[in-house]
Amino acid sequence: MELLMQASATETVEIVCAAGDVPFLARGRVRTQAHGTYTIDVDRDASMLPTGARIILSSSGGSGDRIVARVDSVHGNEVVCSQHQLRQRERREFPRLHGGLPVRYRRVPQSAFTATAARWLRGSNDPKIVGEPSEWIQPGRFMNYSVTGLRFRTDEAIALDEVLLIELGVPERDERWRCTGRCVFSGDNPAGEGSVAALEFVMIPAEARAALTDMTLEAQAVLLG
């Protein structure tokens, strides 16, 4: 089947892959495009993408159709992929993946964390527990996520094993769930500025876990559909 629309060179695209247990969401710029093969500079390390995986490319501006492509090779932030098919953009397609996850976190002195977290998880709105707005840090919305944790770029140097207060949501839902998470990885960002942190959920409401599961299943359904 001949594809009528293609991403052009220098275009910024959003990249989604649901292969494996941890979905991959990122932005990238198409460096070259020829005969259905794209070389994309991704805004983060893409080495977790397996060769042969199916990914979806869509315009970051939200217009145009989506391209389903196959990963040919990955070298750090460079992804080479081949166009497989075109999926017409529909209003209901990708209802939650677009835009990633609304997440913010707050660092609390670890000596006071247990008592603070207990009241935070119970829903306390005491200013001493909730903290000032300036104390909450919001990483980029596009991140790797699973039902067990999050991985994102941040300007904060989070310490390994540090436990954080987390407020988590999903797109197109108003709920914000209170969670806690432990830092299981903290290191330099291979894509450039800031650092990369991976958090493992310590406490997460069942409803929040179910919402993340739904997002994963939706991504897989689109890629396999």
Q: What is the pLDDT of residue 94?
A: 39
3-class DSSP string for the chain: CCCCCCCCCCCEEEEEECCCCCCEEEEEEEEEEECCEEEEEECCCCCCCCCCCEEEEEECCCCCCEEEEEEEEEECCEEEEEEEEEECCCCCCCCCCCCCCCEEEEECCHHHHHHHHHHHHCCCCCHHHHCCHHHEECCCCCCEEECCEEEEEECCCCCCCCEEEEEECCCCCCCCEEEEEEEEEEEECCCCCCEEEEEEEEECCHHHHHHHHHHHHHHHHHHHC
In a domain, 6, yes or no: no
125 and 155 fall within a common domain = yes
Tokens of 101: 């996850």
Q: What is the pLDDT of residues 33-63, one digit of tens each?
A: 998 899 999 988 898 898 998 888 877 555 5
217 and 119 fall within a common domain = yes
Residue 44 structural domain: 12-87
Q: Which of 4-8, 11-15, 61-65, 214-218 has the highest mean pLDDT?
A: 11-15
Q: What is the pLDDT of residue 9?
A: 57
Segment among 3-17, 25-39, 87-101, 130-144 with least mean pLDDT: 87-101
37 and 116 fall within a common domain = no
Q: What is the pLDDT of residue 191?
A: 67
Task: For residues 13-22, give the mean pLDDT.
Answer: 73
137 and 217 fall within a common domain = yes
User: Which residue among 39, 60, 87 closes a domain?
Assistant: 87
131 pLDDT more than 60 = yes
Can you give the CATH number for the domain in which 62 is found? Answer: 2.40.10.220
Confidence of residue 163 (pLDDT cuts 50, 70, 90): very high
107 and 83 fall within a common domain = no
User: Which residue among 58, 87, 116 closes a domain?
Assistant: 87
150 and 186 fall within a common domain = yes
What is the reported pTM?
0.61
In a domain, 39, yes or no: yes
Can you give the CATH number for the domain in which 209 is found? Answer: 2.40.10
Confidence of residue 85 (pLDDT cuts 50, 70, 90): confident
184 and 214 fall within a common domain = yes
**DSSP-assigned beta bridge partners for residue 196:** 153, 187
84 pLDDT more than 90 = no
Locus of tokens 């991976």? 198
Q: Answer with the residue of higher pLDDT: 190 or 81.
A: 81
223 pLDDT more than 60 = no
Confidence of residue 5 (pLDDT cuts 50, 70, 90): very low
Confidence of residue 86 (pLDDT cuts 50, 70, 90): confident
Number of domains in the chain: 2
51 and 120 fall within a common domain = no
Q: Answer with the residue of higher pLDDT: 94 or 8.
A: 8
In a domain, 42, yes or no: yes
142 and 45 fall within a common domain = no
In a domain, 1, yes or no: no
113-126 b/e with 16+ CB inside 10 Å = b? Answer: beebbeebbeeeee
215 and 116 fall within a common domain = yes
182 and 71 fall within a common domain = no
15 pLDDT more than 90 = no
In a domain, 98, yes or no: no
In a domain, 182, yes or no: yes
89 pLDDT more than 60 = no
